[in-house]
Amino acid sequence: MHEIELKLSVDEATLEQLAKAKPPKGFAVSEQSIKQLRSVYYDTPEHTLKNERIALRTRYNGTNWLQTIKQGGGMQSGLSKRIELEFPIDGIEPDFDAVPDEDIRNKLVALLEDKNWGILFETAISRRLAYYTDKAGAKIEVAFDSGAAKTKSDEHPIHEVELELMEGPVESLYKLAAALMKDRPILFSNTNKAGIGYRLASGKPPELRAEALHSSPIELAPEDSASSALQKILGECLNQIVANRSCVLQQNISEGPHQLRVGLRRLRSAINIYKSALSRNKVFAELDTSAQQLATTAGNQRDIDVLVEDIITPVIPLLPETHSVTPLLEAIELAHAEAQAELRRELINPNLNDFLLQLGELAQSPSWKENLGLSKSKKKFAQPVKTFAQNALTKRWTICEKQAENLQDLTIEQRHELRKALKKMRYTVEFFRSLYEPEDLRVFLKCLKRLQNTFGYLNDVAMADRLVAMKLPQSLQNNEVSAVIGFVAGWHQARADHAWLTAQERWNAAVEAPRYWL
């Protein structure tokens, strides 16, 4: 069967509160049962099964032993979708002969044959289990899990809530998650119990520290409609937003807020591409507004990172001995700390729950158009994705050409508008690139990337003076700091003049590149 579940990371106190809470409005709940679960995971020391995205475990549920095999899936935005087989066996040892799926049975035997495999780790979990139902016909299993993952030499506590959709609409899964968490920030789990156990077995830190996540390829097929393509795009945007939200909360690295802002901008770009079909829909309008607000907050930190890393740092070795950059960097560090704190506050604000869950629901629900009353756009959503992509790419490029009229005479503000148009063009190319042969789009995409990089640098230089002046405390607006700012700005301005000439050359190359989508 296919398993669809949400995994939420919580602390021990929150877990207790959720387990004891009354059922949310619109849901009924069965009486809770408590089970003591011992799960034993098997693999080779080299993690042969894990590398093939297979999990093999046996579990004692207090009454008998069950063997479970999970294949594929993985965690994305807290959502797990994978194939799962579970069946009774006689004891703790796996029984391959009992596997009902012949292909999976043969694969297990082939992978483990002649290899040293056995117990790698186990988990001991106290599970409070309840079943929630609603009028939409949903049945959702909610497990409140508390326990630990253990190896022979180490262990790590586990506290999490799992919501598994047993039957009914996927919308109910997200609605229940929102109702249960209420005013608590939803933190999607980016791992699972097996992941914790594998890291313990490898001698790695059990908590998986979230890394900055770049956009991932979106796999579209010719048989996709404009509608199914949008869901895939929304899902990928959500994955990038959720992953980089975790990165910002767990690490102090500049790539986290940068990729968070990219994910939010990609989402807004996708909504804009589909705006004619969305007919000013309220839900998408609210998503767009929330994404814009969060992107602005992430941008405040990102702009300071750019100022230090790309504008000031390259010039430090060139500063005269009479110019000390220390006061300027200290002031910027204070501003950075404030911007970082503001972003983190916004990322753990429970108000963000609705944004994340609504986006997840839209990406997963087969009935999302009907739920939003978009029946008037039925024909637009039903058209083949390649037809939709051709129109979208043409519209985007037309906007770029319009913004680039009289290119050599553009003001700073007009250059900025062209830069934004090019960025949106790049996102559109990436959304639909799997529909085209790589060789066909190679030249155009290369020109677009080079052009965008040049305009990005020009924008960084243009905003540097404004940003420093805005962020510096009044007490540090002195001659010494001003001299450093002037030197840095002057050095970059000379480079910017040359970069502007390069931008014009690269624009001409992009204009001459073949329109691969036509």
CA distance 473 to 335: 9
The CATH number of 226-376+385-512 is: 1.40.20.10
Per-residue pLDDT of the chain (518 residues; tens, 9 = 90+): 456 789 898 999 999 999 999 999 999 999 889 989 999 999 999 999 999 999 999 999 888 999 999 887 554 555 545 678 999 999 999 999 999 989 999 999 999 999 999 999 999 999 999 999 999 999 999 999 999 999 988 999 999 999 999 999 999 999 999 999 988 999 988 778 888 999 999 888 877 678 899 999 999 999 999 999 999 999 999 999 999 999 999 999 999 999 999 999 999 999 999 999 998 899 999 999 999 999 999 999 999 999 999 999 999 999 998 888 988 888 889 889 999 999 999 999 999 999 999 999 999 999 999 999 998 899 999 999 999 999 999 999 999 999 999 898 988 889 889 999 999 999 999 999 999 999 999 999 999 999 999 988 888 887 766 666 655 556 555 677 788 888 888 898 888 888 889 999 999 999 999 999 99
Phi-psi region of 141 (alpha: psi -120 to 50; beta: other; left: phi over 0): beta
Q: For residues 101 and 267, give the distance between their C-alpha atoms in angstroms, rounded to a whole number.
A: 40
- List of residues 6+ apart from 508 with CB closer than 8 A: none
Look up residue 276 and give its two tokens. Answer: 């004619």
Q: At what angle do helices 326-347 and 226-250 cross, to 10 degrees?
A: 120
- What CA–CA distance (Å, rounded) separates 259 from 255? 6
Neighbour-count burial for 159-190, b at 16+ CB within 10 Å, e otherwise? bbbbbbbbeebbbbbbbbbbbbbeebebbbbb
Partners of 398 in the beta sheet? none
The pTM of this model reads: 0.88
- DSSP annotation of 213: -
* Cβ count near 106 (within 10 Å): 12
Distance CA 329, CA 334 (A): 9
Secondary structure of residue 146 in the 3-state scheme? strand
- Concatenated DSSP letters of 60-105: E-SS-EEEEEEES--EETTEEEEEEEEEEESSSS--GGG-S-HHHH
Contact present, 353 and 186 (Cβ < 8 Å)? yes
Instruction: Note the CATH number of domain 2-201.
Output: 2.40.320.10
Domain borders along the chain are 2-201, 226-376+385-512
d(CA 142, CA 16): 13
- Helix (H), strand (E) at residue 57: strand 54-60
Domains 2-201 and 226-376+385-512 share a fold: no
Q: And the tokens for 259?
A: 């990729």
Sequence-distant (6+) residues with CB within 8 A of 238 are 77, 267, 356, 359, 360, 363
Answer for the pair 406, 399: CB distance below 8 angstroms, yes or no: no
Contact yes or no for 353/181 (Cβ under 8 A): yes
How do strand 54-60 and strand 65-71 relate by DSSP bridges?
Answer: antiparallel
The Cα-based distances of 30 to 5, 26, 145, 156, 311 in angstroms read: 19, 14, 17, 31, 60
Collect all residues with Cβ–Cβ distance below 8 Å to 322 and sequence separation of at least 6: 483
